[in-house]
Amino acid sequence: MRLKAVDVGIPPRQLDFRLPADLPRWVYADNATATLFLAMLSAIFPPGEDFFVRSVVRYRDRIDDPRLAARVAGFTAQEVIHSREHDRLNDAFTSRGFDMAAAARPVALALELLAVLPARHQIACTAFMEHFTAVLAEDLLATPEFREKVHADVADLWLWHALEELEHKSVTYDVYETIGNRHHERVLAVALVLATVAPAAVAGWGTLLVQQRVWRMPGDLAEGFRLVFGPGMFLRRILRLMPLFHRPDFHPDDHDSSALEARWRELLFGADGSLTDQLRRRV
């Protein structure tokens, strides 16, 4: 019997996040700088996830393992739904005057540069970026910081996204292993992403900060930078774990997040889960 995505723990969940009309303008701790950082991340997910999917599915014909084939199908479906829901969140930010297209443009251009690389280098870059999203996802789910500071309706979308990032965190890497994992390619991939996508993301954030004239609010800027980059804050925790990808024996599943995933599946989609009713409405 052919395996399906749900059989391998990567179910595509057809959710439909509809944000309230009275959503506050600054949804992250009532702070413009931190909110615009979150908006930048949302802006870059659709082009980023499109790049991820394309880099993986081009190797579909090389996959003989039926479990991995089913996991690739689940990964692809989840990423497509993530892009759709972030497009809707981006529309909500746009309706509040944020120039989301301008925020996404630098990363879209950076990904176009990566897309001219040989296919092996593209999937290695995707594996590194998936490492980032998995570490980010685990931090969002494992610490109360995000849930306490972000508006609940926006947080629900990010918590669902984070759970699914952990569910498929090793798919890209396992496809890369199938075609022959080369450590020097992974080291190069880190350099390529840091030279292109990382500064492009900062440029997208800067575009929003300038467009929203946050430079006129020095107190907000200082607090926003503290919320994002300050001691003990989430970005510092995430960046500290990025070098793990350099290890010759690295594998995403070396760090077991299954208990955290099980907890959040219950909290979001269990009998009394916060998103269970929405999921049932979509079935």
pLDDT, tens digit (0-9, with 9 covering 90-100), for 235-255: 999 999 999 999 999 999 999
In angstroms, the CA 111 to CA 107 distance is 6
Q: Is 21 exposed, middle or buried (0-12, 13-18, 19+ CB in 10 A)?
A: exposed
Alpha carbon of residue 76 to chain centroid: 14
Total Cβ atoms within 10 A of residue 185: 18
Average pLDDT for 207-234: 94
Spatial separation of the C-alpha atoms in residues 202 and 176, rounded to whole Å: 28
pLDDT, tens only, 6-24: 999 999 999 988 888 888 9
Q: Domain locations in the chain?
A: 31-273
pLDDT at 19: 85
Predicted pLDDT at 234: 87
Distance between CA atoms of residues 47 and 57, nearest Å: 16
**In 3D, which of 40, 56, 236, 28 has the Cα closest to residue 135?**
236
d(CA 151, CA 162): 16
Encode pLDDT of 53-101 as tens digits: 999 999 999 999 999 999 999 999 999 999 999 999 999 999 999 999 9
Predicted confidence at residue 281, as pLDDT, reads 57
263 by Cβ neighbours in 10 Å (0-12 / 13-18 / 19+) ranks as middle
Q: Which of 39, 187, 142, 33 is nearest to 100 (CA)?
A: 39
Token pair listed for 223: 């607090």
Is residue 192 classed exposed, middle or buried when 0-12, 13-18 and 19+ CB atoms within 10 A define those classes? buried
According to the model, what pLDDT value does residue 283 have?
45
For residues 256-265, average pLDDT: 98
- What pLDDT band is residue 282 in, cutting at 50, 70 and 90? low
Q: Match 């947080």 to its residue by tokens.
A: 155
SS (H, E, C) 108-147: HHHHHHHCCCCHHHHHHHHHHHHHHHHHHHHHHHHCCHHH
